[in-house]
Structure 1
Amino acid sequence: MKQEDISALIKNGETQEVEFKEGCPSGHKLAEIICGLANTDGGVLILGISAKKEIKGLHCDLDKLQQDIANIRQSIHSSPQVSTSIHAFDDKKIALIEVNKANDKNAHTFNGAVYVRIGSTTHKLEGQALFDFLKNKQILCFDEQDSEAKIEDLDEHRIENYLIKRGQPDYLKSNNSPEFILNNMFGRLNGKLKLKNVATLFFAREPHRWHPQNEIRIVRFSGTEPINIISQRDFRSDPIENIGQTISFIRENISKRFIIPQDSPRRIEIEEYPHPVIREAIVNAAAHRDYYSYDSIQINIFEDRIEISNPGGLAQGLTKEFFGKRSVRRNPLTYRILRDCHYVEGLGLGVPQMRNEMRKAGLRDPEFNFEGGFFVVTLRNAKSNIKPVEGLKDLNSRQLNALDYLRQNKTIKSKTYANINEVSLPIALKDINELIKFKFVKKIGSYRGAYYVLNEGVKNVK
């Protein structure tokens, strides 16, 4: 790092990525700071600088310091990428320790503990904070965690059906169920056989008993608002059966038209949504949802659209920029089973294919939204005709209610929107996105800290 860059770091003071120490801290303290920087965003530790940004210089053996840092790096599991350099400022020497950020699915530990940076300080993670960190890193994958179920709780018919789809119908003739579980890494031996969650999710006699969150709730409404329910179903079996039942329900509850080609006397049935798009959206919801969440997959069928909402935003390592271009797996064993059953291909082609099928049918591209911990897919049919809002006449009652709230309270969060309108968070986020699109409100901040304010010129619109 250049001298002027170091000077700029010192001038700007301590941050989440920068820490100063006036002298040479103990090896234990250095390890905690390096571990914390690596587990957060990476950064720089500068020795010889006071908390008041004064260059004090170091008076310890610098050769020994660099050797100590190399040893400290080895004491952290797994060893982070660290580089150390010595710099002179007005005959005062300082040490610059640069720490690279950990890989997306890796966490560094020191003495078995995880440290992170929060603001300009280093913290040891414990309890729920540690669980959330490891889950977000996808180090704790739900389907790979131990289940309380026993081998007797599994349904051999479900295993047989899976093996048939995988092209191994005779597998159980030469292997028993425990061997199937171990050979496929759906469990482990620790004195006795321990099933993983994936085993009970797909093969238990009662999957919903072990995983009540593994549920798809589907509602058909009349009109375009979630008011009058025509029909509804809850599916609570294994993911494969849930997918099949959900697709069947949707196909029974959407419109169809018939055409007779010129070269054939037979009529052809055309559904208002391309079947491959429906299938891909449902499979993705089951494959990529956050199974740690207690929320269900929610599907709403309206006159002009279908909304598919599942808990879990973008998986770790996937940004909005690369969504639809890369395949990242939140639940690797779940994904493998669905791939074996020919539901997914693992090439990241699903989203482009959905767009292509919708365009071939003369429909709008699918809409993908990631907010409030939910992933929402909206499919619009030919009846959908969103037009620019003139005044407020095209807003629904919830949106009008939110604008009145904003005139009195200046800001609103998505959770507040959902509460004052007594709707779910996915519906609230969909409404808010329309208000943003038509420039009634604007978003301030991101993630959990995000809130919304009125755009200039809206306050007086009636």
Structure 2
Amino acid sequence: MLNEKQIVQYLTDLESEQVERTVSTNNLDKFCEAICAFSNDVANTKAPGYLFIGVADNGRLSGLRATDKLLKDLANIRSDGNILPQPAMSVYKQFFPEGDVIVIEVKPALFPPVRYKGKIWIRVGARKAVANESEERILMEKRSIQGATFDLRPCAEASLSDLKTDLFNGYYLPRAVDRKILEQDKRPVEYKLASLRFYDIKSHCPTHAGILLFGINPEYYYFGAYIQYVRFEGKDVASKVVNEHKFTGDLVTVLGKLDTFIETTIEQKHPVFVSALREETRRSYPHLAIRELLMNAVMHRDYESNAPVKFYEFADRLEVVNPGGLYGNARPENFPTVNDYRNPILAEAMKVLGYVNRFNRGILSVQQELTENGNGKAIFDFDKMTVFGVTVYNAVELLRDGLGEKVGEKVGEKVGEKVGEKVTQNQEVILTAIKGNSRITAKELAIIVGISDRKIEENIRKLKELGKIKRIGPAKGGHWEIVD
């Protein structure tokens, strides 16, 4: 983060290749192109680039007064999915008497090339431009295999013949790369794949992401690379199986099938008795919320595990369990406000394909949609180190059982009373968070559960009364203990 003196030095150095200035506050394309160019660092400076907003080309300040909304909108550029892979950037402002300066600081990408709306922007001296083929190759060669995520590493046993190149060329590529760039690109398909991190030129083989997305038979290399759907007649796995299906193959095709399956089979609209003269149609599960949960399972799972994603439907609920617990910076105490990507290349591809609308916001949207539909909040299970689970209750069954005074109101609380020994759903989330971090604070719990500090205190008091938790030590420096 630059201090005031450093900012002044950059403003007066009009020839710096690491700086771009603008007085505009709403030219999103210009901002994103600059961020993309600094991320690619084609000159290999290994130094951050800086976009100064509120500064003219001659270094003079425009008199800008930065609002919180403007700063928030600029910070959202990082995760809106138009710059892929996501840039490493920070946004802050510096006050000057002549006007504020907003600084967007961009670090060089670990895995270039970075694209904005399908175009690779780079710095050429003090200006930016679209990369040509030679410059794109330089960026591709900058990638480091050392420490790379699993999906970026080469699949040494595979070859180009293991990929559905027609699927890549005809379906994926036009969605990922700008049309005009594609028309001029006459390179072999290996280089086109490599530019999107699906092929490793040095090793002469596809990456794991390439096989998972476009492979003729991904399961040959990753035994658990499929989604196992089972529908049970009752409320546990011992009950009769009434339907099952295995979603397997390349993810480009599988994701489309899975999306259609959720809409046509899982959502299930039912007539529900409201009064003697009226019935209403209710959805068991909202399509977009369940799709988001399943897409997250596919995106974040551990593909080095031989276990599949389990998608189980019971009479009263859905359960999704995928191999691999929370990853990287994500922890039970900060989920879902903090996210991290075990498979960033897959995440990028799913954004390109339209299965991820925006990064880091999915779970919050899921909880809102489930609550509005009458399902109550999804319950996340962090207890098992090697898997991640989520449970969603059937809104129609809850309503028929009289567990909701109105659909979407108080259902989450009533569910807990039915299934958790008078522990509400919010309290189940609190217990899960405490199991993951015994020193978690009430404020952190409020963020995780999505309720006020006062409501958190009420729930903690209730859990103490029920004998579920107890406090060891003082309020500051003590810890929670789960009572079995």
In the TM superposition, what is the alpha-carbon distance from 1:333 to its structure 2 partner?
0.8
In the alignment, the residues of structure 1 paired with residue 464 and residue 176 of structure 2 have an alpha-carbon distance, to the nearest angstrom, of 45
Equivalent residue for 2:158?
149
**Contact 1:213/1:291 (<8 A) preserved:** yes
1:200 lines up with 2:200 in the alignment: no
1:369 lines up with 2:369 in the alignment: no
In the alignment, the residues of structure 1 paired with residue 201 and residue 353 of structure 2 have an alpha-carbon distance, to the nearest angstrom, of 26
User: What are the Cα deviations for residues 98-156 of structure 1, in whole angstroms up to 9, with x where unaligned?
Assistant: xxxxxxx9xxxxxxxxxxxxxxxxxxxxxxxxxxxxxxxx9452211221111122112
SS of equivalent to 1:319: coil
> For residue 272 of structure 1, what is the amino acid of its counterpart?
S
Equivalent residue for 2:457?
none
In the alignment, the residues of structure 2 paired with residue 390 and residue 211 of structure 1 have an alpha-carbon distance, to the nearest angstrom, of 37
5+ residue gaps, structure 1: 1-104, 106-137, 260-266, 393-435, 444-451, 456-462
Q: Which has the larger radius of gyration?
A: 1
1:328 lines up with 2:336 in the alignment: no
In the TM superposition, what is the alpha-carbon distance from 1:257 to its structure 2 partner?
2.6
**Contact 1:300/1:307 (<8 A) preserved:** yes
SS of equivalent to 2:319: strand
SS of equivalent to 1:284: helix
Equivalent residue for 1:249?
261
Equivalent residue for 1:309?
321
The correspondence for 2:300, drawn from 288, 291, 308, is: 288
> For residue 143 of structure 1, what is the amino acid of its counterpart?
D
The correspondence for 1:378, drawn from 387, 391, 396, is: 391
> For residue 269 of structure 2, what is the amino acid of its counterpart?
K
> For residue 159 of structure 2, what is the amino acid of its counterpart?
K
In the TM superposition, what is the alpha-carbon distance from 1:245 to its structure 2 partner?
2.4
SS of equivalent to 2:333: helix
In the alignment, the residues of structure 2 paired with residue 184 and residue 218 of structure 1 have an alpha-carbon distance, to the nearest angstrom, of 31
Judged with a 3 Å threshold, the aligned counterparts in structure 2 of structure 1 residues 167 and 196 are, in CA distance, closer, same or farther, namely: closer
Judged with a 3 Å threshold, the aligned counterparts in structure 2 of structure 1 residues 388 and 209 are, in CA distance, closer, same or farther, namely: same
The count of aligned residue pairs is 263
In the TM superposition, what is the alpha-carbon distance from 1:179 to its structure 2 partner?
1.6
The correspondence for 2:172, drawn from 162, 165, 181, is: 162
Equivalent residue for 1:360?
372
5+ residue gaps, structure 2: 1-109, 111-145, 273-278, 404-414, 422-462, 471-480
User: What are the Cα deviations for residues 327-358 of structure 1, in whole angstroms up to 9, with x where unaligned?
Assistant: 31111111111111122245311011001111
In the TM superposition, what is the alpha-carbon distance from 1:241 to its structure 2 partner?
2.5
Judged with a 3 Å threshold, the aligned counterparts in structure 2 of structure 1 residues 143 and 438 are, in CA distance, closer, same or farther, namely: farther
**Contact 1:163/1:169 (<8 A) preserved:** no
**Contact 1:389/1:438 (<8 A) preserved:** no
1:177 lines up with 2:199 in the alignment: no
User: What are the Cα deviations for residues 196-250 of structure 1, in whole angstroms up to 9, with x where unaligned?
Assistant: 1111111122222222211100001112122210000111112232233233334
The correspondence for 2:250, drawn from 223, 238, 256, is: 238
In the alignment, the residues of structure 2 paired with residue 339 and residue 379 of structure 1 have an alpha-carbon distance, to the nearest angstrom, of 24
**Contact 2:160/2:206 (<8 A) preserved:** yes
1:212 lines up with 2:220 in the alignment: no
> For residue 176 of structure 2, what is the amino acid of its counterpart?
R
**Matched ranges for 1:12-27 at <5 A:** none
Aligned-pair RMSD on alpha carbons?
3.7
SS of equivalent to 2:235: coil
Judged with a 3 Å threshold, the aligned counterparts in structure 2 of structure 1 residues 312 and 245 are, in CA distance, closer, same or farther, namely: same
In the TM superposition, what is the alpha-carbon distance from 1:194 to its structure 2 partner?
2.7
In the TM superposition, what is the alpha-carbon distance from 1:289 to its structure 2 partner?
0.5
> For residue 154 of structure 2, what is the amino acid of its counterpart?
D
Judged with a 3 Å threshold, the aligned counterparts in structure 2 of structure 1 residues 321 and 296 are, in CA distance, closer, same or farther, namely: same
The correspondence for 1:225, drawn from 207, 230, 236, is: 236
Equivalent residue for 2:71?
none
SS of equivalent to 1:230: strand
**Contact 1:243/1:282 (<8 A) preserved:** no
